[in-house]
Chain A
């Protein structure tokens, strides 16, 4: 079944830890995105990728980094987590030229103590 997965769903960690949020999709989509969303608030694009070895920063400045070594995989890394990074992180993907918009994963809720 075609889908988009995010792990972990919830993560509570201490300040200074390095973390990687995983995102995988089985739909063969070229385009993938990371959004940051505070509870009940709007979505802010922080990274996107148009294909393998392509990554760009989004509208909202973020200290996180991303990589796209495989089409289906788009992990997000924080080298040194801080309380200000506490938020929900949503991954999405879309097909080139598609008219049906972006498909979202379930999100990772990150809490940095």
Chain B
């Protein structure tokens, strides 16, 4: 089946630093999604990408849909303590009926 490899698994950074994480897939997706999960809560959608090459921003967050449709990355600029959490990528395609394939998550820790 489809697999998503998300890296890095964890990051420990200083407040103010930029962060980059990515996901690669063994097969093509039509849509890439990036979620953030705070401790003890459910994932919240941050950014959705629908076209290969698409670059989308949401505040300090920027995500791109890779040209090959097999990868995506998420950047966070000027990190702040509330960025702490687990970031998940997810892919889906039109044939999957909204079914999502999730990456393993990137745990982000920010030192004030």
Which residue numbers of A lie inside 8 Å of B, CB to CB? Answer: 6, 31, 40-43, 45, 48, 50, 59, 90-92, 94-96, 98-107, 109
B107 adjacent to A40 (CB under 8 Å): yes
Give 14 A-B contacts (CB < 8 Å), ordered by A residue: A6-B42, A40-B86, A40-B107, A90-B43, A95-B98, A98-B98, A99-B48, A99-B50, A101-B100, A102-B100, A103-B45, A104-B35, A107-B40, A107-B42
B92 adjacent to A43 (CB under 8 Å): no
B33 surroundings in chain A (CB, below 8 A): 101
**Nearest CB to that of B86 among chain A residues?**
A40
B1 surroundings in chain A (CB, below 8 A): 59
- Of B45, B48, B98, B105, the residue contacting A42 (CB under 8 A) is B105
B105 adjacent to A40 (CB under 8 Å): yes
- Of A43, A98, A105, the residue contacting B102 (CB under 8 A) is A43
B90 at the interface (CB under 8 A from A): yes
Instruction: Give Cα distance in the complex from A21 to B49, angstroms.
Output: 32
B48 adjacent to A50 (CB under 8 Å): no
**Nearest CB to that of B90 among chain A residues?**
A101
B99 surroundings in chain A (CB, below 8 A): 45, 48
B97 adjacent to A105 (CB under 8 Å): no
A104 surroundings in chain B (CB, below 8 A): 35, 42-44
B97 adjacent to A31 (CB under 8 Å): yes
Instruction: Give Cα distance in the complex from A41 to B103, angstroms.
Output: 10
Instruction: Give Cα distance in the complex from A90 to B44, angstroms.
Output: 12
Shortest Cβ gap from A20 to chain B (Å): 19
**Nearest CB to that of A96 among chain B residues?**
B98
Interface residue ranges of B18-57 to A (CB < 8 Å): 31, 33, 35, 40-45, 48, 50
A101 adjacent to B98 (CB under 8 Å): yes
**Nearest CB to that of A91 among chain B residues?**
B42
